[in-house]
Structure 1
Amino acid sequence: MKHCWNGHLRNTNNSNFLRFPSFQFQKTLRTFPNRMLPNFLTLWTFVEHDIIIFMKTCFLPKELRPELRKIWGIPLFNGEKEVLKKFQQFTKKRRFKKIITVGDYCSLTLPSDIKIFDGKIKRKKIKKLAKFSLSCSNPAGTIKKGVWPIIKKAIKNKENVFVDGEEDLLVIPAVLLSSNKTAVVYGLPDKGVCLIEVSPRVKKTFKELLNQFHIE
């Protein structure tokens, strides 16, 4: 398939996106009855000047796991009290538009606008949960297509999300769906947390990372 409504559909083993500038998307949308998109265009969102439409579920390949274990962003280590102190100092200085925490440790320890968590710390269930108004299902090693609109809604309305399954990889959609000057924070077991400041450069890195996932 070479062209699709003024956009370019890339459909390879490592990528499954439809991308075109926002003004083309608005023009394209008007061509559909009642502005309803076809079923396979399950999600659209503005990411810088492009629109990314995710069509399928993404699976983490084994060879990419070491890459995801790297420290992404700014590390805040040295114990819970020190982590909180550094976090408060840094966020006050940077004046982020929104703060998103991914994981139970971060969500229970740090103040944030949006919390994404699965009720487990180090794979063990915990009794104390943050309050939430949204929920989704997401198996380990996966980013399900149904997760994207839930996280998009959470970011827009500043709502918390409970994940039935595992939330580790949801740092990726949290970054891609956020506006610039958003902080996305995730935990590193026995170390502390990492803070990712969303920017065009960071989004480009995460899109390239996601392109290496298996798409089904």
Structure 2
Amino acid sequence: MYYRLTRDMRKFTSPEDLMGNLFEGSPEISIPKAINWIRSIDEGKFLRQGKEISPKNNPVLICVGDVVSQALLSHPELCSFVKYCFIDGETQRGGDIKIPSLSEFKYISFLNPRGMIAEDIFAFIRKTISNSNQYIIKINGEEDLLVVPAVLETSNCFIFYGQPPLTDLGTNIPSGCVGIFNDDVVKAHFQEIFDQMEPIEKI
């Protein structure tokens, strides 16, 4: 089973769809901002229940995209908190992205066609989120939409994905990195997005 965007759907093309903090700029600029956000002791702007979350409290980090995966896997302090990295070996920013080879991570792959989400991804996250393993998941196809199962199948995790510049449909979103903390409000928003997707049996 696969789920795909319908013609009437947009793919995170308005500030409201982001449901997180947009850290603008190139990876050299945006990723340090995202890291500082994780480590911040002032969580009131993104935690709606006042719960303190910081690296000392063992946060769970999920990366969707090659650029953010490379950055967090290369960070000596935060790498140990990364649970999943979804990568496809490509980036809209251009240039070579080299994902570190890390012995403590398990490497697996999934087929996930462009503009779709494979049901297997939901099942994989659901099955593995509670174990102690860390995963680098190579996607054959495109990983862009996998922020949806990452949000829906986990709770109270930091989820990061790369944001290309968007200027269509009357909106203007600069490029950068988006950081989400998936509390119940964020999960409900993404559930609304997912409910609009069209299930198909075959591709």
Q: Same fold (TM over 0.5)?
A: yes
Q: Which amino acid aligns with 1:59?
A: R
Cα distance in 2, alignment partners of residues 164 and 104 from structure 1 = 13
Whether the 8 Å contact between 2:31 and 2:177 is mirrored in structure 1 is no
What do you get for the CA RMSD once the two structures are aligned?
2.3
Quick check: which has more Rg, 1 or 2?
1
Residue 99 of structure 1 corresponds to: 61
Q: Which of 52, 60, 63 is residue 5 of structure 2 equivalent to? A: 60
Q: Which of 90, 97, 100 is residue 120 of structure 1 equivalent to? A: 90
Where is the strand percentage greater, Structure 1 or Structure 2? 1
Cα distance in 2, alignment partners of residues 213 and 124 from structure 1 = 29
Whether the 8 Å contact between 2:70 and 2:97 is mirrored in structure 1 is no
Residue 75 of structure 1 corresponds to: 22
What TM-score, normalized to structure 2? 0.70
Residue 149 of structure 1 corresponds to: 123
Q: Which of 84, 95, 99 is residue 129 of structure 1 equivalent to? A: 99
Q: Which of 157, 162, 176 is residue 187 of structure 1 equivalent to? A: 162
User: Identical aligned pairs, as a percentage?
Assistant: 29
Whether the 8 Å contact between 1:107 and 1:115 is mirrored in structure 2 is yes
1:178 aligns with 2:123: no
Whether the 8 Å contact between 2:34 and 2:177 is mirrored in structure 1 is no
The change in CA–CA distance for 1:79 and 1:127 in structure 2 (over 3 A counts) is closer
Cα distance in 2, alignment partners of residues 125 and 210 from structure 1 = 32
Unaligned runs of 5+ in 1: 1-55
Q: Tell me by how many angstroms 1:130 deviates.
A: 4.4
1:90 aligns with 2:65: no
Q: Which of 139, 152, 155 is residue 163 of structure 1 equivalent to? A: 139
How many residue pairs were aligned? 159
Whether the 8 Å contact between 2:68 and 2:160 is mirrored in structure 1 is yes
